[in-house]
Amino acid sequence: MSQSTPAINLTGPCKVVRFSALPWTVIIFVLSLLLPTTISFSIGDFRLTIYRVVLLVFFIPCFVRVMNGRYGKALLADKLLLGYAGGMILSLSAHLGLAGGGKSGGVLVLESYGAYLLARSFIRNEMQFAAFIRLLFFIIASLSLATIPEALTGKNIFQPHVAHIGGRLGLTRAFGPFDHPILYGMFCASAVSLTLFVPINTLQEKGTHFFRAGWVIVAAFMSVSSGALVTVVVQLILTMWKGLTRTIASRWHLFSILLIIVYVMIDLLSNRTPMRVFLHRLTFSAETAYTRLQIWDSGIKYNVMEHPWIGIGFDEWSRVSWLGPSIDNYWLVIMVRHGLPTFCLLSLGIIALLYTVKRYVYLSEPAQLMRTAWGFAMIGLIIAGSTVHFWNNLHAWFFFLLGSGAWMATQGDERQKGG
């Protein structure tokens, strides 16, 4: 692209954000994530929830349009994440055979690459992104009217027969319509910076953003989940740093240097490793932090190092005897299940998209705020993924949110094509 390309403003002044700006496909998909996964049906060996049906219907059309340049040139992230999708199927096929790998891997590809492609295809400019965040806030605010009473009384109006898993801090851990409080809490927590920075009434909106973000934080807290807490705290730290250093040009380089200094100082002055200190501070108990560390140690030592290339598939993972069967670390799950090459493709795809969006300079002022909000939300989720697993609708949500920011790196391409 020529360096003389002018700044792109697709919106104009004082543009009102309306739900009608959002493609109906996005609305249907996001709402489908809120349906309990017990609402499903089977076709042969495939169990299809409603959100999986939406992804299945649009997978091929979205893939073709993204790869043929309909939405600007295909990004490096598009190709790396395609490699990740292929890596999942290949690794599972090595363990389960072609039929088993295609079935199990296909579902995972739908929930990951399919959700990414859907957002990549249907959220294409700042007005649509703002409408998407408006919808997200409306959903979380509506859910909180039921989940706050659920946390206080233990009664779930979405799933009356759900068995609650105990409480913390005097609250019952709220499920809402999700399969686990972690999923509900992470869904809400991912929206903190999005509601704080993205205008949802007009693109020049001022005020009310602190109120919206506070509401989202309260909603997320009803899950009493350490993963949600990590997601919220990371976004708030990044937001405060941005506000305190607004006049410093290289503030994020400085932030990185300070993180390294803090890490080294903790390592030198504490009798615990920095990772143990951080986990203890960002979880609800020392026991939880210790368990997370043991999961990581066992996962790497007895599984990843023993099976680095194609992982162990869905086999039982090796661990110390007292650990349970679950792996509370999304990134470790990918390494254990599919191997290091597949994990690297996923990691590089996410990093490539974040870097490409960060480096793109032809954005209007509202779009720059959206870039900040989206970047903070993704960083919060990425870090929280080291303490919890993403599964079912949260898995699809993570990749949909990832794809929702790709338009910020392709606006110039679409403008030149007349798209």
246-265: pLDDT as tens digits: 888 888 888 888 888 877 78
Separation CA 36–CA 49 (nearest Å):
9
Answer whether 0.75 is exceeded by the pTM.
yes
What's the pLDDT at 71? 78
Residue 319 and residue 298 in contact, taking contact as beta carbons nearer than 8 Å: yes
pLDDT band at 4 (very low <50, low <70, confident <90, very high): very low
φ/ψ of 343, rounded to 5, equals -60, -40
Separation CA 334–CA 389 (nearest Å):
10
Residue 50 and residue 57 in contact, taking contact as beta carbons nearer than 8 Å: no
Residues in the chain: 419
Task: Give, for 370, the enclosing helix (H) or strand (E).
Answer: helix 365-384
pLDDT, tens only, 206-255: 677 889 999 999 999 999 998 999 999 999 999 999 999 888 888 888 88
Q: How far is CA 305 from the centre of its chain?
A: 27
Task: Give, for 340, the enclosing helix (H) or strand (E).
Answer: helix 340-359
Residue 5 has pLDDT above 60, yes or no: no
* Mean pLDDT computed over every residue of the chain: 88
Strand, coil or helix: 63: helix
Separation CA 298–CA 312 (nearest Å):
14
pLDDT, tens only, 386-404: 989 999 999 999 999 999 9
Residue 108 and residue 59 in contact, taking contact as beta carbons nearer than 8 Å: no
Tally of CB atoms within 10 A around 146 = 17
CA nearest neighbour of 108 among 348, 330, 375: 330
- DSSP string spanning 114-168? IHHHHHHHH--SHHHHHHHHHHHHHHHHHHHHHHHHHHHH---SSSTT-----EE
Cα 113 to Cα 36, 59, 110, 182, distances in angstroms: 22, 9, 6, 22
- Ranges of each domain in the chain: 19-417
Residue 7 has pLDDT above 50, yes or no: no
pLDDT, tens only, 278-316: 666 666 666 777 788 889 999 999 999 999 999 999 999
What's the pLDDT at 413? 53
What's the pLDDT at 367? 92
- 142: tokens are 């509506």
